[in-house]
Structure 1
């Protein structure tokens, strides 16, 4: 043989185990791409209470959480009522019991909007009303007989008085054999939607974000502070957005930066402050292109209207006039004072393009 190490391998479990865990991380990656498309804030946690947790906000007062147990078991038979509720020898819980136990009765159970079992093997249509083959099954779509079995077995297993109704069973669209390629393709599609006619280095974006997911997933510490948990354990929409911006060539950004540079040239700014302001202007433009929410649209409209009134003033006085004329709600919605001024300058420049 050409290969001097061509003897059959003694052990392949390590490679198989890595493949299963690797799939979980890529499923989380695909989840964040889907959520980023909605242009809302979010955070993704891997290996925290459950395989994957999705938070729909970065604010602890409003955040709700989705729990996902992810199983790459494509070589196995479809899950049935029996396989989901059977406690195997040596195990403490059944598959469904383990999912429910991850949040039921915990201090945070009231902010869990759903708990889902994601399995590449799929689920038997015999447990679904009308025998439908669905890629997402909710409690309301399960046959009454199957549902009664689920409830009886789970109540007995976990000692609960009521069975939770926020359970879902999901067949993932991310294929195990091509999950890396699918995620990279998803990055390209998302950037194309966010920034039409722009270019991106999808492979570098993928490498940065998958490395970050892996790094955060390895963190084993508990955190009593929400901000610390976000920083050390999650991948947030803000980090994803910054990564997109760093590895993408966004159409129109160069023109905005050049005109903004001309506009602020007569302001009394040192190099450091000038550079900081230009970065803030670029960041505002990039966010505006990808996420034109109602506040941003109103802010831009009012700034450009005021600019038409005060455009004969020098730059410094022009900015002061616009700033003093804007509604307080629009001022506070732009972040820090530097971000606010950057937003005004960017909207002026956009009006001149």
Structure 2
């Protein structure tokens, strides 16, 4: 293959664009990385990028209960010291005050009283690390809570911030965190995280990892660009936030999970045992698979509450019985709680929901499936 000389080979006037893009792009990837970590721990999370702070993490889908962690994400080098935290650049225009320090900007971001009420904490997340003196220098802490800093460091930060802002409210709620996500090739790292997540939770499953990653990061970028303010919580989540439940939804759509296929086959065997026609078995295969995926991947509060309601209903119906006949099962579905029925889109979906949970319940002879689900839904609504 012949090599053609590059007609555009010349010193570029400006190269900061790609560097700036990479810094902003890292913030989006860190948000996704954090969501994946929390999803693996079955924690409910909603990530907002460029809302009051670089990344804002909510711990509940309920706007009245949600607590928010404000995260400022930095890729600058070298390690962060007290001096760097407090450094103030010259004003953009003559006669104006100096720009606020990084630490002051974090505190200013939560100054409105309305935001303070739901604040769970503030974190400065950096790729380089921190050179801050601790109370006990023999231990390595990450993140570093403000109260774990040496008294001299705390006094220095407090005095400087009070001089700059006139107060040091919320300073004790700040933590300094070294990012676990590498600064380079972070996209490859996150795809690896997704692959490992699937392997740990659903061994042997085949997943379109690239498709899951692309869909999630594109959604974060698209919603991160939204600058509108929303009066209602549901609208904010819909147009600006990315819930961790979205991870499970995409894993379900872009995976062939062995546990799911086993559940579907078991469900069809149960239908055959009850005498359902081959046509009905075929007709319900897709809705059975859809709910089986949801039961394994969806950790949203709405789904967990539905699951709890169905499992409690099944538990009451079974009593001391080992199994239900077809007539008993259909009567059970017909008498389902109103709250469950309202969330089902069709009679077939309701039937499939009950059948999958009935089989899940049967596999747990001591009812631990019910206990686990009830615990998860309680944790998420607390």
**Into which bin does the TM-score normalised by the smaller protein fall?**
0.7 to 0.9
Aligned partner of 1:86 in structure 2 is: 87
Matched, 1:68 2:62: no
Query: Are the structure 2 counterparts of residues 187 and 297 from structure 1 closer, same or farther at C-alpha, using a change threshold of 3 Å?
Result: farther
Query: Are the structure 2 counterparts of residues 252 and 171 from structure 1 closer, same or farther at C-alpha, using a change threshold of 3 Å?
Result: closer
Alpha-carbon distance, 1:218 to partner: 0.6
Q: TM-score, normalised by structure 2?
A: 0.78
Matched, 1:45 2:48: yes
Q: TM-score, normalised by structure 1?
A: 0.84
Aligned partner of 2:108 in structure 1 is: 101
Query: Are the structure 2 counterparts of residues 340 and 100 from structure 1 closer, same or farther at C-alpha, using a change threshold of 3 Å?
Result: farther
Given that residues 333 and 351 in structure 2 are in contact (C-alpha distance below 8 angstroms), is that contact kept between their aligned partners in structure 1? no
Given that residues 25 and 46 in structure 1 are in contact (C-alpha distance below 8 angstroms), is that contact kept between their aligned partners in structure 2? yes
The DSSP-based 3-state class of the residue aligned with 2:61 is: coil
Residues in 2 aligned to 1:109 and 1:180: alpha-carbon distance in whole angstroms: 34
Q: 1:219-238: per-residue Cα shift (whole Å, max 9, x none)?
A: 11111100000000011022
Residues in 2 aligned to 1:352 and 1:93: alpha-carbon distance in whole angstroms: 59
The DSSP-based 3-state class of the residue aligned with 1:227 is: helix
Moved more, 97-106 or 342-351: 342-351
Given that residues 42 and 299 in structure 2 are in contact (C-alpha distance below 8 angstroms), is that contact kept between their aligned partners in structure 1? no
User: Tell me, which stretches of 5 or more residues in structure 2 are unaligned?
Assistant: 92-97, 365-382
The DSSP-based 3-state class of the residue aligned with 1:115 is: strand
Alpha-carbon distance, 1:349 to partner: 4.0
Aligned partner of 1:32 in structure 2 is: 35
Q: 1:209-268: per-residue Cα shift (whole Å, max 9, x none)?
A: 01111101011111110000000001102212101111111113224334435629849x
Residues in 1 aligned to 2:334 and 2:74: alpha-carbon distance in whole angstroms: 54
Residues in 2 aligned to 1:340 and 1:104: alpha-carbon distance in whole angstroms: 47
Matched, 1:160 2:167: yes
Aligned partner of 1:230 in structure 2 is: 237
Matched, 1:319 2:322: no
Alpha-carbon distance, 1:133 to partner: 4.8
Matched, 1:302 2:302: no
Residues in 1 aligned to 2:40 and 2:161: alpha-carbon distance in whole angstroms: 36
Alpha-carbon distance, 1:119 to partner: 1.3
Query: Are the structure 2 counterparts of residues 334 and 118 from structure 1 closer, same or farther at C-alpha, using a change threshold of 3 Å?
Result: farther
Given that residues 288 and 356 in structure 2 are in contact (C-alpha distance below 8 angstroms), is that contact kept between their aligned partners in structure 1? no
The DSSP-based 3-state class of the residue aligned with 1:174 is: coil
Alpha-carbon distance, 1:310 to partner: 5.8
The DSSP-based 3-state class of the residue aligned with 2:71 is: strand
Alpha-carbon distance, 1:2 to partner: 4.0
Residues in 1 aligned to 2:196 and 2:316: alpha-carbon distance in whole angstroms: 32
Residues in 1 aligned to 2:123 and 2:32: alpha-carbon distance in whole angstroms: 16
The DSSP-based 3-state class of the residue aligned with 1:204 is: helix
Matched, 1:140 2:147: yes
Q: 1:13 aligns with which of 11, 16, 19?
A: 16
Aligned partner of 1:346 in structure 2 is: 356
Q: 1:115-140: per-residue Cα shift (whole Å, max 9, x none)?
A: 01111122114x32333554321112
Aligned partner of 2:135 in structure 1 is: 129
Given that residues 310 and 318 in structure 1 are in contact (C-alpha distance below 8 angstroms), is that contact kept between their aligned partners in structure 2? no
Given that residues 128 and 143 in structure 1 are in contact (C-alpha distance below 8 angstroms), is that contact kept between their aligned partners in structure 2? yes
Given that residues 248 and 299 in structure 2 are in contact (C-alpha distance below 8 angstroms), is that contact kept between their aligned partners in structure 1? no
1:139-218 equivalence runs, <5 A: 139-160=146-167, 162-218=169-225
The DSSP-based 3-state class of the residue aligned with 1:205 is: helix
The DSSP-based 3-state class of the residue aligned with 2:124 is: strand
The DSSP-based 3-state class of the residue aligned with 2:264 is: helix
Aligned partner of 2:292 in structure 1 is: 282
